[in-house]
Chains A and B, each alone.
Chain A
Amino acid sequence: MSLPLPGPGSDPAAEPEAWGRLLELAREESADHLLLRHLVEVWARTSGARGVALYLEQGELLRREVAIGDGFPSILERDDVADGAAGVVPLPGGALVVEPPEAAAAAAGAAAQLTLLLGAAATNRRLKQQIKAERFQVNYRIVELEALYDVGLAVAGTLDRERLAEEVLLRAISLLDARRAALYLIENGSYRLDRAFGGAAAADVAVADPELARFLAGEGPAPAALLPGARYAIGVPIQVEAGPRGFLAVGDKETRRGLAPFPEGDRRILVLFATQAALALENVRLHQQALENERMAREMELAAEIQRLILPTGAPPVPGYSLFGWNRPARQVGGDYFDLLSLPGGQIGLAVGDVSGKGVPAALMVSTLHSGLRLLLDRFPPGPELVEALSAHVLASSAPSKYITLLLAELDPGSGALRYVNAGHNPGLLLRRDGEVELLDASGLPVGLLPGSRYQARAVVLAPGDLVCLYSDGITECLSPGDEEFGTDRLAALLAEHRDLPLAELVEAIDEATCAFGAGTPQGDDQTLVLLRREEEKA
C-alpha cells in the first residue's frame, strides 16, 4: 500500500495530506496496527534512529507490537523499560526502544509531536487489545459452561462408557488449559487408572491413601507417583450420593509464557465438571450393571435348564414297588442330586447326593457327580468299589475342600434286598410296616473329601409295606422362624402318618409340612426326596 507519510520534522500544516492520512488511520478500528507501524516508521526517520521498536503492556510483560530494524526481543520485562533506562522512551501503557540509545533524545525534540501521537495511538491499541482479551475470556467462560452443559446432556445421551470417559478427560484438559490429565475409576476397592493424556500416570492408587485424600480436598500436593514430572496439579473426586466413584487429576496449566499453577477458580470449575461427569459415569455404570445382571440371569436360567435335564423326570417301573424322586433347589441351580436307574438284571439303582456349598459351583459339581456316576456304572455295580472310584474322580476334578455326600443303593426287586453305601450322607429312613424306624447309616466319608477313601456296603431287606426315604439335609434342617430344625423325628412321623398315600402325594405332604414349619422363612437349602415303598400284595 502506497501512503503519503509525513517526512522528517514534518509540520502538519506543511503536509496536510500526509497527516490527514495518519489521522484517518487512527479513526479506523481495524487499521490501528498499521497506524502504529507508520507512526513508528516516521518516528524512526524523524529521530534518525537506526532501529525503533514499540512495546505494549500485556499483563506483567511488554510485547513487541512493531519493530523497525532487527534485534528487538519479542518480550520485555517491565524493568527493561524503567524510567531512565538508556534508549527507552516511555509511553502510556508501553515504551519505545531506540537504537542507538542517544536517538531517544529526539522524543523531547524533533519527534515530540510524533511521540505524543504515538502515545495516544498506543493507548488506543492497548485498550482495544484489552477489550479483545476480555471478550475472549467472556467467550471462553461460555465454552466452559457449554462443556458443563454438554457433559450433563451425556447423562441422558451416552451409554458408551469408553466414549464418555474419553470425553470427560479431554474436556477437563481443554477447560483448564492443562497439558496433561488422568481419570481414575474405582475398581475392586482401589482407584484404577482408566486413561491418561499428556504423560504417564500411576496405574493404581489406594482409596485410603491419606496423601491422595489431602490432594483431592485441595489441601496438599499430588502424590509424587500420580502424574510423574508434573509441576502443578489439581484433583477432584468423582462421587455420587452412594460414595466415591473415582477422581480426576489435571496437571501443568498452560499460559503463553509457559506452565503455571492452577488458580483457585480452576478448582471450582473442575468440581462442577466432576459432578456432572460423576452422574454421567454412574448412569453408564448402572446401565452396564443392568445388562450384566440380565446376562447372568439368562445364563442361570440356562444352567437351571441343564440341571433339570440331569435330574430324572420320572422313575423306572418296578413291579411290586412305588418309586418317586423330587428336588427343589434353593436358588436357580442347586447342589442336590438324585437319580433313579434301571440296572442290568432288573436291579434298580437309587442315588441321593448333596454337594458342599450352593449355587453355580455346587451345580457344576453335580454335573461332575452325575457324569462320573453314569460312567462308572458301566464298570462297577453300585457298591463300595464304584463309590471309591467316584470319590477319586471327584477329588481329582473339583476344588480343594469341596466334597459330596452320597447315598447309593441297589434294590433287588425280587428279594426286596436293598444294598447301600452311605458316603457321609444323612441316614436314610426305613419305616417298617409295624412302625419301627431303622436308619441307613453312613459307612464312609463323603466322596471327594480325602484320597483313598474306603467304603462298606450294608444291606436291609424290604418287606411288603416297608417305606424307604432318602433325603437331603434341606428337608431335616429346614428352619422355623425361631431357628428350630424340622428334624428327622418330624420327618419320620410324617412318613408314618401318610405312609399309604401315593408317593407323589406323600412328597406333597412333606413339602407342605416343611413350608408350614418354616412359616414363610425363605428356603435356605436345596431339598431332595427319594421314596421307595414295597407295596403289599393285594388279597
Chain B
Amino acid sequence: MTDNSTVTADRRDGLAVIYTRGYINNQAGEEIARVAYSLIDEGHKALLLNLEGTTIVNSIGISILIEIIEKMIEIGGRLAFCRLTPTIDKTFHIMGLTQYAPIYGDEATAVAALRG
C-alpha cells in the first residue's frame, strides 16, 4: 500500500486540475491548499480536484478542502471534484462539501461543466 501523498497541478487556459495521490490528511491538505492558493494567485478561477489517486481522507483534510471551497466562493470562482471513491464521495456528501463544489465521475465531464 502506498501512503506517500503527492499533489500536482495541470494548468489549462484559466482552469487548473489538481491531482492528488495518497492520504489527504493535515500535511497533504496543506499542500493541496498551497497549490490551490497559488493557482488562485495566478488568476485561475476554476479549479478541479481529481482524487483518482486518493483512497483515504480524514477530518483535517476535509476541513482544509472546505477552506479552499470558501476561498473560491470569496473570489467568485468555482471548484469541483472528480474520480472519488464511493467512500470519499459519501463522506463529502455528509460533510456538505457538495453544496458548494459538485462531484463528477470523470475529468472530462468535470472540465466541461466548469467551463460551461
Which A residues form the contact surface with B (CB < 8 A)?
30, 33-34, 135-136, 139-140, 142-143, 146, 150, 166, 169-171, 173-174, 177-180, 195-198, 254-256
Contact (Cβ within 8 A) A177 B74: no
Asked if residues B94 and A146 are in contact (CB atoms below 8 Å), the reply is: yes
A170-B56, A174-B56, A254-B58 as given contacts; A197 in contact with B91, CB under 8 Å: no
Q: How large is the interface on B (under 10, 10 to 19, 20 to 34, 35 or more residues)?
A: 20 to 34
Q: Can you report 16 A-B residue pairs in the complex whose CB atoms are below 8 A from each other? A: A30-B73, A34-B74, A139-B94, A139-B96, A142-B94, A143-B95, A150-B87, A170-B55, A170-B56, A173-B23, A174-B56, A177-B59, A196-B1, A197-B3, A254-B25, A255-B26
**What 1/0 mask marks residues of chain B from 16 to 38 whose CB sits below 8 Å from any chain A CB?**
00000001011000000000000
CB distance from B3 to the nearest CB of A (A): 5
Which residues of B come within 8 Å of A, CB atoms? 1, 3, 23, 25-26, 55-60, 62-63, 66, 73-74, 87, 90-91, 94-96
Alpha-carbon distance between A197 and B57 when the two chains are bound, in angstroms: 13
Q: What residues of chain B lie closer than 8 Å to A256, measured between beta carbons? A: 26, 60, 63
Q: Tell whether A174 pairs with B58 under 8 Å between CB atoms, given A139-B96, A195-B1, A198-B23.
A: yes
Contact B63 A254 (CB under 8 A): no
Give CA–CA (A198, B95) in the complex, Å.
Answer: 25
Shortest C-beta distance, A312 to chain B (Å), equals 57
Separation of A185 and B60 alpha carbons in the complex (Å): 29
Give Cα A255 to B95, complex, Å. 18
Q: By the criterion CB–CB under 8 Å, are A33 and B59 in contact?
A: no
Closest to B56 in A: A170
Hey, which chain B residues are within 8 Å of A139, CB to CB?
94-96
A148 → chain B closest CB, angstroms: 13
Query: Chain B's nearest CB lies how many Å from the CB of A5?
Result: 18
User: Which A residues lie within 8 Å of B59 (CB)?
Assistant: 136, 140, 143, 177
| A319 CA / B57 CA spacing, docked (Å) | 86
Chain B nearest CB, measured from A448 CB (Å): 50
The 4 closest A-B pairs by CB, nearest first: A177-B58, A170-B56, A254-B26, A139-B95
What residues on A are CB-neighbors of B58 within 8 Å? 173-174, 177-178, 254
**CB nearest to B55 among chain A residues:** A170
User: Nearest residue in A to B60 (C-beta to C-beta)?
Assistant: A254
